[in-house]
């Protein structure tokens, strides 16, 4: 999905959920994270996390990179920062 096709409302809908907001806050470091990593110990079922990861990807916030049997997820940080200045910073502040 081209970042130009992502609207601010798309982004806000995607992060307007406690778990997805926390995922984005973790991913805000800009690095790739394994989908099964220790970061995601949010007390919900793996299938729930998969659901949230998919919503973030389909909304255009993240990329998933598949390499062999490893899936990593990363925030499209630089693209999001260029299109929505200050938004990711604001979501991770405080």
21 sits near a copy of itself (criterion: CB under 8 A): yes
Which is closer to a copy of itself, CB of 8 or CB of 36?
Answer: 8
Contact with a copy of itself (CB under 8 A) among 2, 4, 18, 68? 18
Q: Which residue has the tokens 């992502």?
A: 6
Distance, CA of 41 to CA of 60 (rounded, Å): 23
Nearest to 64 by CA among 46, 78, 76: 76
Distance, CA of 71 to CA of 48 (rounded, Å): 16
Contact with a copy of itself (CB under 8 A) among 3, 17, 63, 72? 17
Kindly list the residues in this chain that would bind a copy of itself in the complex (CB under 8 A).
Answer: 8-9, 12-13, 15-18, 21, 83-87, 89-91, 93-94
């Amino acid at each position: 999905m081209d970042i130009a096709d992502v609207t601010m409302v798309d982004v806000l809908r995607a992060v307007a959920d406690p778990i997805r907001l926390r995922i984005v806050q973790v991913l805000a470091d800009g690095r790739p994270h394994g989908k099964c990593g220790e970061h995601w110990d949010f007390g919900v079922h793996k299938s729930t996390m998969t659901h949230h990861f998919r919503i973030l990807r389909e909304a255009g916030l993240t990329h998933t990179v598949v390499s062999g049997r490893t899936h990593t997820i990363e925030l499209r940080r630089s693209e999001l920062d260029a299109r929505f200045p200050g938004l990711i910073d604001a979501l991770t502040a405080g």
